[in-house]
Structure 1
């Protein structure tokens, strides 16, 4: 049973840290590796086992989960000589939960198959709140048999867990998610600033509009942070720029125009240039409200 197997987890940042905590709470043994060991000390105290390299995680785990920063990090972790594919044992399940390129997910799947390794791409949505609460939406690409085998593990981290299709389908689904969020974030910022300029209490306005047709995660979870001046990252500006860039490139490859996505990417790049790359995505309101 996979429930008795040892999970390797690479990448214990804002999202990964909470995901590991939920795996530990569910009773799984978890090997962890991240670039800076100091950032993993809390997880080690809670029962996770530190490993010294990606190769060590790969060779000592039956299921390996990754959530790292950028596609180049995914390539390094999976495909270099010291990476997962080179050191994982046949029969291992590898799950990349980074938002990355669909083409790269397919490449990892094919390389894994050659070694008898089962690969899934399973990016997530729900931010730091969803990771902490174990309520992430998990969008999966890969083989149905592999998906069914690791489904109990997914259930320890999320609630809305759907196999979307073959390898790469999870990434395409996440990019659809990010496209939907991109223009929504602009609308949320404009709505809050409009309410303020109209002399209204923005927090009270949210009480009215969050449960109506305008309702969204961004409006109900991130708008209050905007109003409170809380710009700590639940999801980094720099990572959202990465996601939108991948989505734009993928759309262009399919001959599809995305003007809303293009505008949002342009605005977030402006925000990053102002020194906000490590802020949460809700910091976008700073471009609209000169009083912040």
Structure 2
């Protein structure tokens, strides 16, 4: 899908950055562009929601990158935000505009956008680590869960009755709030909850509450999930597909043969059926390989 060039957005972003440069001196380095954009919101100049979306997710560009619709070998190295649909981009533009008006730190929207991009990029191929096929090197079964706070928030969101009418894709929410898929999520679940429940609240009250709660950014950090390991050896067969060592996940050689790989901490599985033909074509070995795939699935 090709998205047409938006000259209004380009001039909007450039104009705002130009005003900042005049009042504060030389612009910061590229690594501090998010800080630059964030610092302008308390002043008189404001960037449109679409301008913020483009600037913060795609950089200072004159064109909106086209939507990447397929995870091909060539596209696998692309930034996940390139996979955001046009609907996603419109929705995020609205969220950036709302955050700017309400005094919400825009990094909360950034984190949500990147999680949504990863869902668009890997969602259909991601492997759930809580399906019983994850073990440590000593062959103890492992499962992953969110922190107690995140788990409680995720449960509230899913039971709120607002998921289906939220501006956020229900499929994304179910994926994002499942620790087997999104244990390494960046989005703040309480911020997600505020978005999901916004339609059922008084707008003014919701905006005041959100501004107070999310005006200061708190990073999720690296401690946003818990790995539970069984006390006894529970795996008696061959090498597992995925193992965990000190909180870090690795795909074993067996897992690689079954099409698993790591993409930025996410365990992703390729379409694996062609792997069958790479095995010796005796009936016994072929049936054995098919049986192992069925167990994994």
Instruction: Tell which structure's C-alpha radius of gyration is larger.
Output: 2
TM bracket (short chain): under 0.3
TM-score normalised according to structure 2 size? 0.26
Give the number of the structure with larger relative contact order, counting CA–CA contacts within 8 Å between residues 6 or more apart. Answer: 2
